[in-house]
Amino acid sequence: MRSLGRKPEGARLERIKASPLWAGERFQNVHPVIAGLRDPNASMPSLGDFLCGGERRVPQGPLPSMNPLEVWTKPPASGLRATWLGHSTVLIEIDGLRVLTDPVWGWRASPSSLAGPKRFQPVPVPLRAMPPVDLVIVSHDHYDHLDYPTIHEIAKGEVPFVTSLGVGAHLETWGVRPERIVELDWWESHRLPNTALTVTAAPSQHFSGRGLHDRNATLWSSLVIRSERHAVFFSGDTGFTTEYESICERLGPFDLVMLEVGGRHPAWGDIHLGPENALQALALLGGGPFLPVHWGTFNLAMHAWDEPAETLLELGPAAGAQLIMPHLGEPVEPAHEKSIKPWWRIVDPTARKLEPRTPATATFPKAMPWPID
C-alpha cells in the first residue's frame, strides 16, 4: 500500500545510525516515563473501546469556521500571524514568509481512505486554494501528521520540506524530490536559502511508525521556527518531558507556542500531553502566547471532542497562560490576542461542562540519566 511509505535505507539509514538517539534497531526517547504521568490504575483501551467507547467523541454538527483567504492577502501588522486549519496543521506567517506545519487535508488519519478516524469536516481552505508557502515542516510520520494524499499533491510544486531523520524516505516515495528535503536530528538547524528563517529540531517524547514493522524507524521532533524578529515553538506530538527546560534555554523565548492537547488517554501519559501537562510544558518553555493544536478534528481517544478546550479554559487563567483559541481558519496575531470566546460550545450548547479543577502541582525531576524507549 503506497500510503504506508518506505523505511529508510542506504545513505539515509547510515545517517540515522550515527544519531545518538539510535539504539541499534530503532530510535528511542531520551528519558524514561516520568512517574505520575501515566495513571497506574488505567488499563490500555481495547479495540472495542477505541471504536465505541467514551461519550461525545464527535461534535453534533459542523464546527464554526472561517475562510482566511482575504486576510492572507494582507501582511500581519506585527509580522507574525497563525491560522489553525485543524488538528496540527497551522499556516504560520512570519516576517514575510509562510510556513505550513504537519499538513493534513485527507479525510482519514489512516492508511486507507475507507477506514480509520475520519475528520469532523473539511479543512477551511481547499489545498489547491492555499497561497504559495515557502516551507513545509513535518514533525513525524504518524498518519494524522503525515498524510499521503496531501503530500502527493504538494509534491507537484517546488516547496521545500524540513522534517525529522528518516521521514524523507516517505516523502521521496510520494514524489518529493530529494533536493527539496532536509532531515534533522535533535538540535540540528537548517536555514532556508536566501532568507533569515531557520528551523531547529528539538526533543519530544513520542514514537513513530506507519505499519507493523517500522516502529521507531524514523525520528519524531518538536520544531522551532525563528526569523530575525520572531520565534515559534511547534510541539508535534509529545508527552511531558523535562527537555522543555533545555529547549527554552537554548532556543527561547517564544512569541508563539503551539502544544498538542488532544488525543490523550490516562494510560498513554508518556506520549501525549493533554491540556494539564501542556500547561506545565508551557511554563518550562518560558510561557508566551499559547495556541493549542491536535484537537477538534479527529476522534483519536476516548475523551469528549471538546474536553481539551474546556479544560484549558478552566485551568489556563490560574496557570497564567495566555491562551489563543481561534475558530478554525481564523488568522490571529499573538501580539494582539487578549480574549477568548468559547466558540466550540455553539455546536453542543447543552453539553455538560467540566467541573472546576485546579492545576496539577506535581514536581518533575530536572534530569534523568538513562534512556528508554
pLDDT single digits (tens) 240-293: 998 999 999 999 999 999 999 998 766 666 788 999 999 999 999 999 999 999
Which pLDDT belongs to residue 357?
47
pTM: 0.91
- Tell me if 58 sits within 8 A of 305, measured CB to CB: yes
Residue 104 makes CB contacts below 8 A (sequence gap 6+) with 86, 87, 88, 89, 144, 145, 146, 147, 150
**What is the DSSP-derived secondary structure letter of residue 33?**
P
**Whole-number average pLDDT of the chain:** 89
Q: Which of 273, 305, 267 is nearest to 54 (CA)?
A: 305
Lowest mean pLDDT among 75-79, 86-90, 238-242, 250-254: 238-242
For β-strands 135-138 and 198-202, DSSP reports them as unpaired
pLDDT of 364 over the 50 cut: no
- At 190-229, the pLDDT tens digits run 999 999 999 999 999 999 999 989 999 999 999 999 999 9
pLDDT of 87 over the 80 cut: yes
Which pLDDT belongs to residue 171?
98
Higher-scoring residue by pLDDT: 140, 41: 140
- Report residue 369's pLDDT band, with 50, 70 and 90 as the boundaries: very low
Q: Percent of the chain scored above 70 by pLDDT?
A: 86
Looking at the domain that runs over 2-31+66-336, which CATH code has it been given?
A: 3.60.15.10
Strand intervals (E) in 87-188: 89-94, 97-101, 135-138, 161-164, 181-184
Compute and round to an integer the Cα radius of gyration of the chain: 19
Which pLDDT belongs to residue 16?
98
pLDDT of 314 over the 90 cut: yes
- Tell me if 78 sits within 8 A of 335, measured CB to CB: yes
Q: Which of 284, 272, 264, 203 is nearest to 240 (CA)?
A: 272
Residue pointed to by grid coordinates 534512556: 371
Query: Per-domain residue ranges for the chain?
Result: 2-31+66-336
Strand intervals (E) in the chain: 80-86, 89-94, 97-101, 135-138, 161-164, 181-184, 189-191, 198-202, 222-226, 231-234, 256-260, 290-293, 331-332
Q: Which of 241, 209, 208 is nearest to 365 (CA)?
A: 241
Is the peptide bond prior to 369 cis by the omega test (within 30 degrees of 0)? no
Which pLDDT belongs to residue 304?
92
- Report residue 356's pLDDT band, with 50, 70 and 90 as the boundaries: very low
Strand intervals (E) in 5-68: none
Lowest mean pLDDT among 16-20, 67-71, 148-152, 349-353: 349-353
Which pLDDT belongs to residue 42?
60
Distance CA 318, CA 111 (A): 41
